[in-house]
Chain A
Amino acid sequence: MRTFRGGLTIGLAVAALVAAAAITYERYDTRTLKRTVRRGDVLCGVNKGLPGFSIPDDKGNWTGFDVDFCRAVASAIFDDPSKAKFVPLDASERFKELQNRKVDILSRNSTWSMSRETNYDLYFPAVAYYDGQGFMIPRSRNIDSALDLNGSKVCVQANTTTQLNLADYFRANNMKYTEMKFDKLDDVVKAYDSGQCDTLTSDASQLYALRLNLSKPGDHLILADIISKEPLAPVVRLRDDDWMMIVKWTLYAMINAEELGITSKNIDEALKSKKPEVMRLVGTEGSYGEDLGLTKDWAVRIIKHVGNYGEVYDRNVGADSKLKIPRGMNQLWNAGGVQYAPPIR
């Protein structure tokens, strides 16, 4: 009798454990890296068309900052940037699609916020691009601070966080303004371009893109002030640590490469370097790549195929692009910005 009861208890306990494990397995995906390697490509959720960040040309070739980040991940794993495959996703469906395992990674100008991690069981490994709300003004106004905007007529898109941030900023600084709000962004831009407002407010990266379409882009400038936090980051599923580590350290390898002066052009020279920090990054010392589940030369692959952080920035959104967004906060921490990668050691 006792043994029967004991056996029953053990049996029930085992059944409960199996059920719990099954539920956990269902809820959290922990096999992205294995699936990616077996499939032979990285499925990357991107914006359908955002100049500088991700946009296809008429032949279907994608370019952009977010696109290049996926190519960097593919390079680290496969030594081949063309193994990144792009899946355009709408803003409304993007987090669901990632959760449903339609893509391996989301690299789609997505702002990292707490609720996006907790509500969708997602994880934002590191900030790729510090964006935030700014102001565009006609150059002729001759001011260089947002604190000089008191009494302005401000063009803004209605029912957005942009509108709320605007109100907060002016109230906090005891400034008055007249709101000129429009439902569509196109109308916001038209109103500003026709001189109906003294300034236009939106996310800084967007202001540079919008400026290109004004009748006289050179007559307008974007103030250096940033009044809100929009940290754009890649996104992966929660509790898929092997995969999350690869995504995170891909970005950090690119930032560290820039800090150490390693570029796609001098990478061969870097492989001969005797400087310990350089040697650890390029894999001539230590086993950092293997410890990540990759090869010794993982970072070399990234830098060779895609470039360091600064190269990717300049090419897509910075000085060598149409947008020409100054590095600003995205400059390295020791050169005036806040981009900071933990060391490889």
Chain B
Amino acid sequence: MTKLRHLVWMLIATGALVLSTSQGFAQSRPDADEPGLVADDSYELDPEWQKQVVYYRTNEAPGTIIVSTAERHLYLVQGNGRALRYGIGVGRDGFQWQGLVTITRKAEWPDWTPPPEMIARQPYLPRFMAGGPGNPLGARAMYLGTTVYRIHGTNRPDTIGTAISSGCFRLVNNDVADLYSRVPVGTKVIIRQKPEL
């Protein structure tokens, strides 16, 4: 009887261990980049990450983009105390930056050439990938200043609201297309980080 109980507990413990390690592995994947995966456009975002008009008080001019990485929100200032708010995915720890940049280039269904630093960290990534539905940059990209960072779409809508990227800001494809149609090259983009302790 005691032996049987032991056996049952051991089985449960083993099961739990397998489950926790597999989950841990999923979470610790260095990136949520899954080249080749086609975005599920019917994926429904949590209300927190859905595009919406919100109250937003700022001195910045209408048309300015403000990215709040701690909140995982991107605001397009509308003036009159309001902004259009989009849910975003942001850089993971160590890949967070802040400051003022401008949009220097815009592209539809952009090609992807992962920068050498990224290849060094994640050697399994392709050296080049043509634009299209399986491309991690998604439907649109807006290039930020002279940095390697962009505001872009994604083929992984489930990563919106997380801190997982290499420093880029990702929106779901519908949202990035919407934002793309509203902002010209030259748009001011302000990146805000959570304060450091």
Where the two chains meet, the residues of A that have a C-beta atom closer than 8 Å to any C-beta of B are: 144-145, 221, 223-226, 259-262, 266, 269-270, 273, 275, 278, 319, 324, 326, 328-329, 333, 335-338
**A-B contacts, CB under 8 A, total:** 57
Distance in Å: Cβ of A139 to nearest Cβ of chain B: 10
A319 CA to B47 CA, complexed, in Å: 8
Contacting residues of chain B (18-58) with chain A, CB-CB under 8 angstroms: 46-48, 52-58
Contacts of A224 in B (CB 8 A): 52-55, 82
Cβ-closest chain B residue relative to A130: B55
B117 within 8 A of A: no
A233 to chain B, nearest CB (A): 19
The contact of A273 among B48, B53, B197, by CB within 8 Å, is B197
Task: Name which of B123-131, B179-187, B188-196 contacts chain A.
Answer: B188-196
- Give the distance in Å from the alpha carbon of A225 to the alpha carbon of B54 in the complex: 8
Determine the residue in chain A with the shortest Cβ distance to B48.
A319
Which of the residues B54, B68, B192, B194 comes within 8 Å of A326, measured between beta carbons? B54
The docked-state distance in angstroms from the alpha carbon of A221 to that of B126 is 42
Give the residues in chain A near B90, CB-CB below 8 Å.
none
B71 at the interface (CB under 8 A from A): yes
Q: Which residues of B contact A (CB under 8 A)?
A: 46-48, 52-58, 66, 68, 70-71, 75, 82-83, 85, 192, 194-197
Q: Which residue of B55, B58, B68 has the most chain A CB atoms within 10 A of its CB atom?
A: B55
The 5 closest A-B CB pairs, nearest first, are A261-B195, A328-B55, A336-B56, A144-B53, A319-B48
B-side contacts of A319, CB under 8 Å: 46, 48
* A326-B52 CB under 8 A given contacts A224-B82, A338-B57: yes
A324 x B48 contact (CB < 8 A): yes
Chain A, residue nearest B49 (CB): A319
* Chain B residues, Cβ within 8 Å of A333: 57
From the candidates B46, B48, B57, B197, name the one contacting A336 in the complex (CB within 8 A): B57
Chain A positions within 8 Å of B197 at CB level: 260-262, 266, 269-270, 273, 275, 278
Q: Are B53 and A324 in contact (CB under 8 A)?
A: no
- Indicate if the CB atoms of A261 and B54 lie closer than 8 Å: no
Q: What is the minimal beta-carbon distance from A260 to any residue of chain B, in angstroms?
A: 6
Q: Are A329 and B55 in contact (CB under 8 A)?
A: yes
Q: How far is the CA of A333 from the CA of B57 in the complex (A)?
A: 8
The residue in chain A whose Cβ has the minimal distance to the Cβ of B71 is A335
- With a cutoff of 8 Å between Cβ atoms, the chain A residues found around residue B71 in the complex are 335
